[in-house]
Structure formats: structure tokens, C-alpha cells
């Protein structure tokens, strides 16, 4: 028996990375899934691979009518919606505050924040009628602490997502709807390559490099994987998390926990040497 048997979920940004893997895991756990993304070929290929329990709809998550239509399609095909995973996102402009371009700032905020608001806005009435539902928003450790993204805009946007999640949780919780976020750490996906200016195709080939670069960044001696976020989403979508609301679930191998033990001990060794030289 699957942990998500009988559940119907909507996953945005599902044509690559975290969203793609989450769709695969949700279906494997028994859910029916409607996946959304901008890339038609990739979305249709994934839906075909996952079979009758998966439907793809091309969606620009920043456009209200398209998000409304995505939820409507889910209800038309499956009769209900138990979970919405607002996962869609993308990189934002890098560089310091003086060089930020207003148009690129607004575009990033639309992709990273407006999309989350639109998803919650249009799924809420249907979940209220059901008296239940789980909304999961994709945050980031960059939204909790400065210095964990190459983009100050991205960090600010994710901070907004995390707080918006808590605000809406206080409202919708009264209707039996749980609203939580997941804040990934260094997950090996193509988003890092995209942030640094690589084409989409080139960026999608970088996760292997990311796994090597980030294998020692946190106490857990490996980079994060899309599977880590997908399984966290399974938990929040399932009835096992029925009393969890307004929570930001950090999945980062403890990279935000503090200084790594080895790094700390090496610092003490250097300090002892400095004391000896000073004496």
C-alpha cells in the first residue's frame, strides 16, 4: 500500500530537477499527478513514462489564468486535489544591489513568489470544500540565511515564500488545509548552471559536477539530491503529517547548522600554533 494511495497532486516545474523526481516518486507512492511546466516535449515525455496516473499541462506559473486552468484541469480529470506542490522556480540576476535591473527583478519575483501566491489562491477554494488538503511551497535555505545564493534577489524571494507560507497557513489551517514549505540546501540540479548563465541544455548536464563540488559542504558527506526533496514532499503530502502546519522543513544535510566539525577543529589547531609562536 502506497503512502499516497488515493491522493491527487499538482506539481509545478515538473519537467526537470526536483519537480520531475517528485512526480516520479508521487506516482510510485500511489498518487495521481498533474504536472505543469513550460517545456512541452519534456512534460509530455514524463507523462507518457508515468502512465495513466499522470497528466501534463503546459503552464506559465506567473500567469493567473493558466494557473487557474491547471487547477480546473485537475478537478475535471481526477475530481479533487489533495496536494499542490508549488515547486516551479528559476535563477535570478546575480551581482550586487547597484547593478540590479528592475525588469529582471520583477521577472524573478513573478516566477518565485507570484506563482506561489497564484497556486494557493486558486487551489484554496476547492480544498476548503473538501475540508482538507496539503499545500507545499518550495523555499530555500537562501531564504533563511544570507549568503547561500549567488543572487540577493533569489534569497529575498525565497524569504518571501517562506513567510507567505506561514501567513497563509494561519488562515487555511482553520479550514483543515495544511500549508508548509521545504527549504532545500545544496541540491544537485541544473539551477546552479542556469544561474551562472548556461543554456538550459548545458545546465541540465551539470548535476554530476554539483555532486562533486558540494560533497563536503555539509556534515552529511554528499550533495543533496532531488530524491531528498521528493521524499520530504511525500511526507508533507501524506496523512502522516496531518498536524504539521506553517512549518519550513529544512533539508540541507545541516549546512545551515553551523561550522563543520572538522573545520572547527582545524581552526583550533591553527590557533594553538599561533599561541605557541606567540609564547
**Residue at 146 is within a domain:** yes
**Residue at 1 is within a domain:** no
Which domain does 88 fall in, by range?
8-278
- Identify the residue with better confidence: 226 or 204: 226
Residue 10, pLDDT score: 98
CA distance 3 to 176: 20
Residue 197, pLDDT score: 66
Residue 185, pLDDT score: 95
The per-residue b/e assignment along 164-188, b for 16 or more CB within 10 angstroms, e otherwise, is bbeebbeebeeeebbbbbbbbbbbb
**Residue at 44 is within a domain:** yes
Please state, rounded to an integer, the average pLDDT across all residues of the chain.
93
pTM over 0.85: yes
Average pLDDT over residues 32-56: 97
**Residue at 2 is within a domain:** no
Residue 208, pLDDT score: 79
Q: Specify the number of domains making up the chain.
A: 1
Q: How far is CA 46 from CA 80, 82, 141, 144, 253, in A?
A: 22, 21, 28, 32, 29
**Residue at 57 is within a domain:** yes
Average pLDDT over residues 217-232: 93
Crossing angle (nearest 10°) for helices 115-130 and 64-78: 30
Find where cell 541544473 sits: 190
- The answer to whether residue 106 scores a pLDDT higher than 70 is yes
- Identify the residue with better confidence: 92 or 197: 92
**Whether 154 is catalytic:** yes
Residue 210, pLDDT score: 77
- The answer to whether residue 274 scores a pLDDT higher than 70 is yes
Least confident piece of the model among 32-46, 158-172, 187-201, 246-260: 187-201
Residue 181, pLDDT score: 98
Residue 268, pLDDT score: 82
Residue 192, pLDDT score: 64
- Identify the residue with better confidence: 48 or 268: 48
**Residue at 3 is within a domain:** no
Residue 198, pLDDT score: 62
Least confident piece of the model among 77-91, 190-204, 225-239: 190-204
The CATH number of residue 99's host domain is 3.40.50.720
The per-residue b/e assignment along 1-35, b for 16 or more CB within 10 angstroms, e otherwise, is eebbeebbbbbbbbbbbbbbbbbbbbbebebbbbb
Instruction: Encode pLDDT of 137-174 as tens digits.
Output: 999 999 999 999 999 999 999 999 999 999 999 999 99
Active-site entry in 78, 154, 192, 214: 154
Instruction: Encode pLDDT of 176-209 as tens digits.
Output: 999 999 999 989 886 666 666 667 677 667 777 8
Q: How far is CA 114 from CA 63, 111, 117, 136, 274, in A?
A: 9, 6, 5, 15, 52
Amino acid at each position: 500500500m502506497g503512502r499516497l494511495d488515493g491522493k491527487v497532486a499538482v506539481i509545478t516545474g515538473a519537467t526537470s530537477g526536483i519537480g520531475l523526481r517528485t512526480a516520479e516518486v508521487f506516482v510510485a507512492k500511489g498518487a495521481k499527478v498533474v504536472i505543469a511546466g513550460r517545456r512541452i516535449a519534456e512534460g509530455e515525455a514524463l507523462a507518457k513514462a508515468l502512465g495513466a496516473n499522470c497528466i501534463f499541462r503546459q503552464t506559465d506559473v506567473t500567469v493567473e489564468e493558466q494557473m487557474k486552468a491547471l487547477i480546473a484541469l485537475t478537478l475535471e480529470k481526477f475530481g479533487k486535489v489533495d496536494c499542490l506542490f508549488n515547486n516551479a522556480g528559476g535563477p535570478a540576476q546575480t551581482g550586487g544591489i547597484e547593478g540590479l535591473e528592475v525588469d529582471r527583478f520583477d521577472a524573478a519575483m513573478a516566477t518565485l513568489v507570484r506563482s506561489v501566491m497564484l497556486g494557493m489562491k486558486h487551489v484554496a477554494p476547492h480544498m476548503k470544500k473538501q475540508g482538507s488538503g496539503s499545500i507545499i511551497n518550495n523555499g530555500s535555505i537562501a531564504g533563511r540565511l544570507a549568503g547561500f545564493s549567488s543572487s540577493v534577489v533569489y534569497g529575498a524571494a525565497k524569504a518571501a515564500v517562506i513567510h507567505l507560507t506561514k501567513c497563509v497557513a494561519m488562515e487555511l489551517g482553520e479550514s483543515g488545509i495544511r500549508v508548509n514549505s521545504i527549504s532545500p540546501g545544496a541540491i544537485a540540479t541544473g539551477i546552479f548552471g542556469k544561474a551562472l548563465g548556461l543554456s538550459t541544455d548545458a545546465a541540465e548536464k551539470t548535476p554530476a559536477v554539483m555532486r562533486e563540488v558540494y560533497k563536503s559542504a555539509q556534515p552529511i558527506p554528499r550533495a543533496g539530491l532531488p530524491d531528498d526533496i521528493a521524499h520530504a514532499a511525500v511526507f508533507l503530502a501524506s496523512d502522516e503529517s496531518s498536524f504539521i502546519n506553517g512549518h519550513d522543513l529544512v533539508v540541507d544535510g545541516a549546512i545551515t547548522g553551523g561550522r563543520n566539525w572538522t573545520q572547527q577543529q582545524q581552526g583550533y589547531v591553527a590557533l594553538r600554533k599561533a599561541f605557541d609562536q606567540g609564547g
